[in-house]
Structure 1
Amino acid sequence: MSVTHRDNDNMTTPEPGLRRQVMSYTPEMMLVRHTMEPGWVGAAHSHPHQQMVFVISGHIVLTTPDGDHTLKAGDSIIVAGDAMHQARAFEASEVLDVFTPYREDYA
């Protein structure tokens, strides 16, 4: 068993305004930390993985097929696998995402 420590210095930047740190994972699930700059708008996308989003800090809106969902610190939501979704940050934000199964493209 190993511990993955928070590491701001080694986060990746998959797109402007978004930083990512892959935390702990197994083939069944993965924990990923994301930080977003104010005004960041992510690309609309889908993936086969179920995704649980927990907002640590900030204010984001997640758009899913059933509408816009405003999320602030302490809020969470589940995005079904294959559902088209898009996030945007209204202030500096940090979220934890849990994916199941794990994302091979992030590992």
Structure 2
Amino acid sequence: MTKPSALQDIPIKNTIAGHYGRFVHGDKSTLAFWEITAGSVSPIHQHPHEQITYIAEGTFEMELDGRKYVLQQHDTLVIPPNTLHGGRAVVDCKIIDSFSPARDDYRF
């Protein structure tokens, strides 16, 4: 059993230019709280994790398997495992991503 953590007490990690995340890991999933600066790009990539994206603030242009979506505040998007995706923050964004299984590559 783990103890509760205040989000602001979780260290911020800069994963790629303009992407700052705080990560909460369980045995089988990861929850990521992102702050992404306007104009920052997440290059097209894929991973074996199912990802569910929630736009808490801002506008994010997402490309998923060759289709483009403009995600606004309170929009969600399910990204299946091994599916090409990436995007760009149109304005400063706050995004919450859930990943399953856990993102061990974000345990730094």
The TM-score, its normalising length taken from structure 2, stands at: 0.90
Q: Distance in 1 between matches of 2:46 and 2:98?
A: 15
**Tell me, which stretches of 5 or more residues in structure 1 are unaligned?**
none
**Tell me, which stretches of 5 or more residues in structure 2 are unaligned?**
none
Question: Once the 2 structures are TM-superposed, how far is the Cα of residue 47 of structure 1 from its aligned partner?
Answer: 0.3
Aligned length: 106
Change (3 A) 1:72 1:8: farther
- Please give the secondary structure, in 2, of the residue aligned with 1:20: strand
- Please give the secondary structure, in 1, of the residue aligned with 2:31: strand
1:16 maps to amino acid: A
Residue 92 of structure 1: aligned partner: 92
Q: CA RMSD in A?
A: 1.5
Q: Distance in 2 between matches of 1:4 and 1:32?
A: 14
2:10 touches 2:22 (CA, 8 Å); kept in 1?
no
Question: Once the 2 structures are TM-superposed, how far is the Cα of residue 10 of structure 1 from its aligned partner?
Answer: 2.7
Q: Distance in 2 between matches of 1:67 and 1:99?
A: 21
Residue 75 of structure 2: aligned partner: 75
Tell me the percent identity: 20
The TM-score, its normalising length taken from structure 1, stands at: 0.91
